[in-house]
Amino acid sequence: MDRIRIVGGNPLNGTIPISGAKNAALPLMVAGLLTDEKLILENVPRLADVSQLQRILGNHGIDITVNGKRRGDDANAGQTLEIDARVIVDTTAPYELVSKMRASFWVIGPLLARMGEAKVSLPGGCAIGTRPVDLHIAALEALGAEIEIDAGYVLARAPKGLKGGRIVFPKVTVGATHTALMAASLADGETVIENAAREPEIVDVADCINAMGGRIEGQGTSTIRITGVPRLRGARHSVLPDRIETGTYAMAVAMTGGDVLLSGARADLLETALDTLREAGAEISVSNEGLRVKRNGAGISPVTVTTEPFPGFPTDLQAQLMALTTRARGTSHITETIFENRFMHVQELARLGARIHLDGETATIEGVERLKGAPVMATDLRASVSLVIGALAAEGESMIHRVYHLDRGFERLEEKLSACGAEIERLAG
Ligand SMILES: CC(=O)N[C@H]1[C@@H](OP(=O)(O)OP(=O)(O)OC[C@H]2O[C@@H](n3ccc(=O)[nH]c3=O)[C@H](O)[C@@H]2O)O[C@H](CO)[C@@H](O)[C@@H]1O
Ligand SMILES: C=C(OP(=O)(O)O)C(=O)O
């Protein structure tokens, strides 16, 4: 298993290109199942999760052509995927494939809407809580589907097709909003989703479905209205920049000090996180090229933050913020309200010398003057990158084990950081 070796202490200076968003690219690929014409997705990041979803879609008989880089292409350009779901040969998504990743469960919406049936294994994904799928199921039932759960599989049927309906989510859920949106796009009649997730990735998927001939209104607000259409056509769509990757590198710069341009980043996708970073002492400016993050001289100030659905502070940046606050001049408080078990990074950050006390859903972080390099273990995607941030500022060498978690969501992480002066390398095996 690969490891990452980091010798901390260097400030970051230079430019980091921001890739397409994993959490938009994955549902957009799934949306390819909604049409028998080609869906062309640009700016797709090169990630393990994207390759895994290619395998899952391949299992349904979908052809995916990946246009690689050609000479003269920008080295940082994302890949272009042509998804051709003309024929769906199999409506089962098996355990072996779906258990590896959360977003693969979302094939249930389009398969059911287009084929009238789907059999999808209960999903996997980062181990950050129980992560049930009851709200996906309730949404599909509201559209007239009959659902059974048997031997670890969700069996969904709608032999006469789905019908528009009213879906009221009792809590904000990104995944079930994706499921409802995709299924309702091909249902007969109008669907209203109340308390819908407002995340930018939902907007990206809704915009893409509209480019395919869908009729969705209200994406980005809590009420989404979808008028179902009998069929969707092909389209070309570019994946929006990754706000979590953006926030992660912004926190890395705030941690090490330095001056980095996050090229291609969009500030409007992470205003709350940027406000928190400013409070912590980073200077952030926005230009046509992206976001510039600086911290020179000033120390890190403590912050108090609670994770919330968009536009609040994202849970996917909680671990990275915690790494940053380990070196603040004072005590920070971070409350995680989205996932009940998203604190796996706490004990690993402690190996670097962090002082963190956990009490239920709140972590109290007493800033320390210095962190010291140590061997640590990556436990899930964002926890892993919080260890990278910690190690970049720690004295001496850190070795991060189980880095396959990182490869799920960060494209060319070592390359991007070492180009800005970090001492970081991947050791194979
Ligand atoms: C691939 C992807 O985009 N993953 C993101 C997605 O995950 P995911 O879509 O799994 O997260 P949700 O927004 O659905 O989860 C929010 C909360 O709702 C609960 N819930 C969800 C569905 C359900 O049927 N029943 C239920 O109780 C979850 O356990 C959690 O407590 O949104 C999360 C919240 O922003 C992010 O951290 C993940 O990075
Ligand atoms: C939790 C995440 O991913 P997943 O939902 O696929 O586990 C994430 O992207 O931080």
Report yes or no: 214 and 235 within 8 Å, Cβ to Cβ.
no
Candidates 130, 381, 407: which one to mutate for ligand 2, based on the most atoms within 8 Å of Cβ?
A: 381
Dist. CA 405–CA 428, nearest whole Å? 15
Residues 148, 284, single domain; the answer is no
Residues 86, 197, single domain; the answer is yes
Give me the amino acid identity at 318. Answer: Q
State pLDDT tens for residues 59-103.
999 999 998 666 666 667 789 999 999 999 999 999 999 988 889
State pLDDT tens for residues 99-157.
888 899 999 999 999 999 999 999 876 777 778 999 999 999 999 999 999 999 999 99
Residues 230, 251, single domain; the answer is no
Average pLDDT over residues 258-281: 98
Residues 209, 294, single domain; the answer is no
Residues 12, 33, single domain; the answer is no
Running DSSP on this structure, what letter comes out for residue 166? Answer: E
Pick from 213, 234, 255: which residue ends a domain? 234
> What pLDDT does residue 38 have?
97
Residues 11, 36, single domain; the answer is no
Identify the residue whose C-alpha is closest to ligand 1 atom 16: 173
> What pLDDT does residue 101 have?
87
Dist. CA 16–CA 246, nearest whole Å? 9
Residues 13, 28, single domain; the answer is no
The per-residue pLDDT of the chain, averaged, comes to 95
Q: What pTM was estimated for this model as a whole?
A: 0.97
State pLDDT tens for residues 186-211.
999 999 999 999 999 999 999 999 99
Closest ligand 1 atom to 199 CA: 35
102 annotated ligand binder: yes
Average pLDDT over residues 262-275: 98
Dist. CA 346–CA 211, nearest whole Å? 43
324 annotated ligand binder: no
Report yes or no: 90 and 57 within 8 Å, Cβ to Cβ.
no
Pick from 187, 208, 234: which residue ends a domain? 234
Residues 86, 212, single domain; the answer is yes
Residues 245, 124, single domain; the answer is no
- Out of 29, 48, 83, 126, the active site residue is 126
Task: List CB contacts of 139: < 8 A, sequence separation 6 or more.
Answer: 167, 169, 176, 179, 180, 183, 193
Task: Establish whether residue 136 lines the binding site of ligand 1, counting it when its CB lies within 6 angstroms of any ligand atom.
Answer: yes
Candidates 168, 173, 201: which one to mutate for ligand 1, based on the most atoms within 8 Å of Cβ?
A: 173
Residues 227, 248, single domain; the answer is no
Residues 261, 361, single domain; the answer is yes
- Residue range(s) defining the domain that contains residue 195: 22-234
Dist. CA 11–CA 157, nearest whole Å? 56
CATH number at residue 209: 3.65.10.10
Residues 219, 252, single domain; the answer is no
338 annotated ligand binder: yes
Q: How many folded domains does the chain comprise?
A: 2
Identify the residue whose C-alpha is closest to ligand 2 atom 1: 126
Residue 336 CA, ligand 2 centroid: distance in Å: 15
> What pLDDT does residue 1 have?
84
User: Is 126 noted as a catalytic residue in this protein?
Assistant: yes
> What pLDDT does residue 238 have?
97
